Structure formats: C-alpha cells, structure tokens
Amino acid sequence: MSTFSEQVYDVVKKIPRGKVMTYKQVAIAMMKPRSARAVGNALNKNPDLLIIPCHRVVRSNGLVGGYVHGMRKKVSILLSEGIGIHHNRVDKKYIIMSKKRMK
C-alpha cells in the first residue's frame, strides 16, 4: 500500500458516524488539496470496509458518488447512520466543513 493511500485511510478513519466529508475535503485534510481524484482512486482500493468507512466520503456537490457495493448500498449505509439524503444528495448539515488538517 502506498504512503498516499495510508494517508487517505488515516483521514477517512476519523470521519465520525453520522458525518461525511467530500473527496476534496479529505485531500485538504491531507495537505494535498489538488488530489481529490487520487483520494477517490485510493478509496476504490479500500482493503477493509469495516475499518476504513469510505462510504462516508461523497462528491463535492453532495451527491453520494460511487461505492464498491453500488450506490444503493452506500445510500442504505449512510441512512442507517442517520445521514439525511434526498435524491442521492447528502444534506449539507452532515458534511464536515473543516478545511484544516485532521489530526
């Protein structure tokens, strides 16, 4: 596993239940603000869905986005965690808006 992927997984592990971040926010938290697409590629290869909750990462426009088990499953998991979703878009109040590095 690459160092970049490890950094992505470290940030994503810190997203609390009931909240989401965007791919761009994960990149910003890693201090690599131009690597949102690479964040998505790393999450696509997530080795452990139970430890690394990649379902908690969504697109910048709030759309749920892709998931290894399909968008319906991702929506189902997010709803079970109490996240409001309307027309496959996450309600903004559930998106972590911090632009700081997550420690």
Give CA–CA dist 49/39, Å, rounded: 15
Amino acid present at 33? P
Give CA–CA dist 4/7, Å, rounded: 5
Identify which of 68, 61, 67, 53 has the alpha carbon closest to the alpha carbon of residue 87: 61
CA 34 distance to own-chain centroid: 16
Give CA–CA dist 30/61, Å, rounded: 20
Catalytic residue among 54, 57, 85, 90: 54
**3-state SS assignment for residue 65:** coil
Is 76 part of the annotated catalytic residue set?
no
- Active-site residue numbers? 54
